[in-house]
Copies of this chain bind each other. A is one copy, B any other.
Amino acid sequence: MQADIITIGDEILIGQITDTNSAFLGNALNKIGVEVRQIRSVSDNKNAILDAFVTAQNQVDLVVVTGGLGPTKDDITKHTLCEYFDDELQFYPEVMTHIEELFRKYVKAPVNDLNREQAMLPSTCTQLFNPHGTAMGMWMQKENTVFVSLPGVPFEMKHLVNGQVIPRIKETFSLPALVHKTMMTYGLGESIIAEKITEWESALPHHIKLAYLPNLGRVRLRLSAKGTDAVALQKEIDVLFDALYPLIGTHITGFESDEPIELQIGNALVHKGWMLATAESCTGGALASLFTQRAGASAYFKGSVVAYATELKTRLLGVAKEVISKHSVVSEPVALAMAKGVLRQTGADVAVATTGNFGPTKGDADAEIGTVVIAIVTPEIELAETFCFGKHRERNLQKTLNKALELLRQKTV
- A residues bordering B, Cβ < 8 Å? 9-20, 22-30, 35-44, 48, 52, 70-74, 107, 109, 112-115, 134, 153, 155, 180, 182, 189-192, 194-195, 201, 209-214, 220, 222, 224, 275, 278, 280, 283-289, 291-293, 295, 297-298, 301-309, 311-312, 315-316, 345-347, 358-361, 363-364, 392-395, 397
Contacts and interface: CB of A to CB of B under 8 A. Distances in A.
Given A155-B392, A191-B71, A308-B303, A38 B44 contact: no
Nearest to A282: B292
14 contacts: A14-B26, A15-B27, A17-B23, A17-B213, A74-B212, A115-B191, A284-B289, A284-B297, A285-B288, A285-B304, A288-B288, A302-B312, A306-B306, A316-B346
Contacts of A43: 37-38
A192 B107 contact: yes
Contacts of A293: 284, 286, 394, 397
A182 B275 CA distance: 45
Contacts of A346: 309, 312, 315-316
Contacts of A278: 285, 306
Contacts of A180: 14
Contacts of A358: 295
Given A39-B39, A304-B305, 11 more contacts: A18-B18, A38-B52, A112-B191, A114-B194, A115-B191, A278-B306, A285-B287, A286-B292, A302-B309, A311-B347, A316-B345
B15 A112 contact: no
A316 B291 CA distance: 19
B345 A315 contact: yes
A345 to B, nearest CB: 6
Contacts of A316: 303, 305, 345-346
A13 B41 contact: no
B15 A28 contact: yes
A275 B309 CA distance: 10
Number of copies: 2
A63 B19 CA distance: 19
A26 B210 CA distance: 30
A275 B194 CA distance: 50
B11 A222 contact: yes
Given A11-B213, A182-B16, A71 B190 contact: yes
Nearest to A112: B195
A41 B38 contact: yes
A286 B284 contact: no
Contacts of A297: 284, 308
A43 B35 CA distance: 10
A40 B302 CA distance: 44
Contact of A71 (B40, B194, B285): B194
A380 to B, nearest CB: 22
Nearest to A316: B345
A114 B14 CA distance: 36
B395 A155 contact: yes
B15 A30 contact: yes
